[in-house]
Amino acid sequence: MFDNFYRNKKVLITGHTGFKGAWLSYWLYLLGAKVSGIALEPNSNSLFNKLHLKDKIDSNIADIRDSNLINNIIQDYEPDILFHLAGQALVKKSYENPKNTFETNVIGSLNVLEAVNSCNSIGSLVYITSDKCYLNNEWEWGYRETDPLGGIDPYSASKACAEHVFKSYAVSFLNKKKRFGAAAVRAGNVIGGGDYSENRIIPDIFKSIENRKAIIIRSPNATRPWQHILDPLSGYLLIGKKLFNNSNVFYGESWNIGPNNDSIKTVLELTNFFLENWEPLNRPVVKLNDLGSNLHESNFLHLSIDKIQTKLKWHPTYNFHQAVKATGQWYKKVMDGQKPLEVTKEQILEFEKKINA
């Protein structure tokens, strides 16, 4: 799918110490890219540390709210491609600290756009937001790229704002750049090995298994379009390649990435299928708490992926069962003593085989 496009390319990833950023950094490293990153310090048990990425890529610990610092790092590195993933990524945290969420997701993103604007080396910008940027009417059909943006919780609102900032910069400033492509990309809930974030379902289940405690499932009947992390990352990589040096085709557009409709399942279905990776005796008790939370969070949200399927020929590689199985196997193998680096590499190579088949 990417041929040898990324070999020897200088790629800068903001948010490289996070869940998606670590997988993307390692995948690009395996593809032969020269990877640099900008992000905050990783957590001690992060995938970034488990993959020893500090020894494989050029890692800059810097806050994207610091415009001068970010600008200097980007100008010094002179990347060919920039993937912007850094952000405050959790809805619950956005209620606890809305100011930080808006400053990071909106002003931080603006700082990245400013730096991109004054950097002549960059041939493509892939600007990651979220499926939550859409004004959610709890429709049962998927949102299209042309639907109105908006958000009630601070996280969703910050991602909608980040989209507006992108569009404004794309049509007012970045369009003056030569041989440059840019896109905003909206993906939904991802699952995969090595996520240790708080308040996300897979890490919560895994912690219960490790600590031999019951799992308390909040909102067991809430539905989400689950997808394996390598699926949206393959979309980001494809977009980065297609837009490279290309100001004419698809310039400044937005793209949805998501699974097929058969991956829309409840939190309880996800939990039960994930636990099938463990022997019945080693599975924790599942307790349901369907009172939900008093904080607003969308119950039903999924994206139409017709545009990317038709125009870029990108399609989801894993269905729900394959995505959950790969995720469960990652945690199970690591728990059984296999090195996270080995398991992650195996899973990336397996996925590549499937997309290239």
Q: Which of residues 186-225 bind ligand NAD (CB under 6 A)?
A: 187-190, 197
Q: Pick between residue 69 and residue 283 the one whose CB is nearest to ligand NAD.
A: 69
Q: Contact with ligand NAD (CB under 6 A): which of 53, 71, 77, 108? A: 108
Using H for helix, E for strand and C for coil, what is the string for the chain?
A: CCCCCCCCCEEEEECCCCHHHHHHHHHHHHCCCEEEEEECCCCCCCHHHHCCHHHCCEEEECCCCCHHHHHHHHHHHCCCEEEECCCCCCHHHHHHCHHHHHHHHHHHHHHHHHHHHCCCCCCEEEEECCHHHECCCCCCCCECCCCCECCCCHHHHHHHHHHHHHHHHHHHCHHHCCCCEEEEEEECCEECCCCCCCCCHHHHHHHHHHHCCCEEEECCCCEEECEECHHHHHHHHHHHHHHCCCCCCCCCEEEEECCCHHHEEEHHHHHHHHHCCCCHHHCCCEEEECCCCCCCCCCCCCECCHHHHHHCCCCCCCCHHHHHHHHHHHHHHHHCCCCHHHHHHHHHHHHHHHHHC
In this chain, which stretch among 2-10, 15-23, 276-284, 304-312 interacts with ligand NAD, using CB under 6 A? 15-23
Question: Among residue numbers 248 through 267, which ones bind ligand NAD (CB under 6 A)?
Answer: none
Rule CB under 6 A: is residue 154 a binding residue for ligand NAD?
Answer: no
Residues 120-149 interacting with ligand NAD (rule: CB under 6 A): 128, 130
Selected binder of ligand NAD within 64, 81, 122, 205 (CB under 6 A): 64
User: Segment 157-186, which members bind ligand NAD (CB under 6 A)?
Assistant: none
The residue of the chain with the least Cβ separation from ligand NAD equals 18
From 11, 51, 82, 85, residue interacting with ligand NAD (rule: CB under 6 A): 85
60, 104, 254, 347: which one binds ligand NAD (CB under 6 A): 104
Q: Which of 20, 50, 242, 332 binds ligand NAD (CB under 6 A)?
A: 20
Binding residues for ligand NAD (CB under 6 A): 15, 17-21, 39-40, 63-65, 85-89, 104, 108, 128, 130, 187-190, 197
